Amino acid sequence: MVLWWPVTGGLASIMWSEEAGVQVLASRTLNRLASEDWARNLLGQLYLDVETQAWADNVDAITNHRDSKGVSLAQGDNVVLIKDLWVKGARLNAKRGTTVRGISLVQDNDDHIEGRVEGQRIVILTEFVKKK
């Protein structure tokens, strides 16, 4: 793929913007173009602070986690259990209809989320929840 200088030069300049949103856009665009040598070189030069890097990395994870109805789940969402669940390793039966507030997404597995049920932090399969 051959890109014009304004595209490559434009990304090289906007990646140094002081606006976090512009930096995230540049990071995501460069990651999509990572098959090109110039994009890999720019990615090697790109520095994002911890919060901005988490923002740039997190959005892709958000679109992959889906509840039992296919609705996209995001970090901090509230979900409801659609089935009674016995929690392995704990004497806990999470009842159907229980609300799990402020879920965390498991980055390595799109089928898992984490949340607190009756004070215990557990891993829940996304097929057993629906977004509230």
CATH number at residue 121: 2.30.30
- Tell me, yes or no, whether 13 and 49 share the same domain: yes
Q: Which residues lie below 8 Å from residue 62, measured CB to CB, with a gap of 6+?
A: 72, 73, 74, 75, 105
**Beta carbons of 52 and 25 less than 8 angstroms apart:** no
**How many domains does one find in the chain?**
2
CB-based contact 79:73 (threshold 8 Å): yes
Q: Could you tell me the residue range of the domain that residue 16 belongs to?
A: 5-64
Q: Are residues 51 and 83 in the same domain?
A: no
If you count them, how many residues does the chain have? Answer: 132
Among 77, 92, 93, 84, smallest CA distance to 128 is for 84
Give domain status of residue 70, yes or no: no
pLDDT digits (tens, 9 = 90+) for 35-66: 888 888 888 898 888 888 888 887 554 457 89
Structure tokens at 27: 């990071």
Interval 90-131: pLDDT, tens: 788 999 999 999 999 988 888 999 999 988 999 999 999 999
